[in-house]
Amino acid sequence: MALLNADIPPIYCQVRKEYLYDFKKHHGESEECVVFGLTSMAGAATLFHIMLPNGAVFFRLPISAFFQKDFDRTKVPDMQVDTLQLWNSFSYYPSVHHFGYLTSQRGKYFGKDKKEYFGEYLFTIDWCHPETNILDTEHSEIPHEHKCGHVLALDNGNFAIQPNNRILWNISNFTTRDDIPDYKVQTTSWNVENTGWITEDTDKMFYKIEDK
C-alpha cells in the first residue's frame, strides 16, 4: 500500500505526443517512453508517470495516452479513457501487485462500448483505507463496491485497466468452459471474531475456547 504514488513494473512503450502538449499540437505523433509509476486519487482516473528520452519526467497521464512499443501509431485505434478504464481510482492508497499465476496469461474484457477486447496481463492495482483514525469516505472496503484494476496490454496496441467482473481469462490447462457466468456480487463482510465465543481467562498456551 502506498499514499498517492506507487511504483509499477516498468513499461517500455510509446506516448501519444499530443498528451505532452495539452492537446494543443503534435496530434498523431508519438514518442518512446518508460512508464514507471502511478498516481491514485479518489474520484479520478488512474494516472501514470513516464521518463522520456530527453530526460524529462512527465506526471499524471491517463492510460489512453499510451500504446505498445512495437506498434505503428497509425494502426492503433485512439480509444477513450473511459473505454480503457471502467472505474476511477477508489482511494488515495493504491496497492500494486504482480500475480504470478496470471503472468503472461491472456484474457478478454467486455468494454462499455459492447465490444470484446483481448490482451495480456501485466499487473494489478487494488485500493484500501489506510487506518481507523482517518475518516473513510470512499468505497474500497465496502464488499459490494470493491473493484480492483488489472492492467492489460491489448492486442490492438493499447493498454487497459479492468476489474474482475469485466474479464474472462484463458488459462489453457484450466479454463475449459466458454460461458459468461451469472455469479452475484459479494455483499458479506467476513469476520471470524463476532460469533459469540470466548477464551478462558488463564495464561495457558493451549487455552480452551467456549461458546459465550
Q: How many residues does the chain have?
A: 212
Q: Average pLDDT of 31-42? A: 97
d(CA 39, CA 62): 10
pLDDT, position 28: 96
Q: Average pLDDT of 167-181? A: 90
DSSP assignments along 78-93, one per residue: ---HHHHB-S----S-
d(CA 57, CA 39): 14
Beta bridge partners of 118: 108
What are the φ/ψ torsions at residue 208 (nearest 5 degrees)? -85, 150
Question: Does the pLDDT value for residue 162 go beyond 90?
Answer: yes
Q: Average pLDDT of 161-167? A: 96
What are the φ/ψ torsions at residue 179 (nearest 5 degrees)? -125, 160
Strand (E) or helix (H) holding 117: strand 116-127
Beta bridge partners of 120: 106, 153
Query: In terms of pLDDT, which residue wins out, 179 or 14?
Result: 14
> What is the per-residue pLDDT across 60-95, written as a single tens digit (0 to 9) for each?
999 999 999 999 999 999 999 999 999 999 999 999
Question: Does the pLDDT value for residue 156 go beyond 90?
Answer: yes
The letter for the amino acid at 123 is F
d(CA 47, CA 164): 20
CB 152 within 8 A of CB 163: no
d(CA 112, CA 85): 10
In whole numbers, what is the pLDDT of the chain averaged over residues? Answer: 94
- The CB-side HSE value for 62 (13 A sphere, CA atoms) comes to 18
What are the φ/ψ torsions at residue 108 (nearest 5 degrees)? -130, 145
pLDDT, position 33: 98
> What is the per-residue pLDDT across 38-65, written as a single tens digit (0 to 9) for each?
999 999 999 999 999 999 999 999 999 9
Question: Does the pLDDT value for residue 132 go beyond 90?
Answer: no
Question: Does the pLDDT value for residue 143 go beyond 90?
Answer: no
Alpha-carbon distances, residue 123 vs 10, 103, 153, 161 (angstroms): 11, 8, 10, 10
pLDDT, position 7: 98
What does the domain layout of the chain look like in residue ranges?
Answer: 5-172
CB 155 within 8 A of CB 119: yes
Question: Does the pLDDT value for residue 1 go beyond 80?
Answer: no
Query: In terms of pLDDT, which residue wins out, 144 or 113?
Result: 113
Share of the chain above pLDDT 70, in %: 100
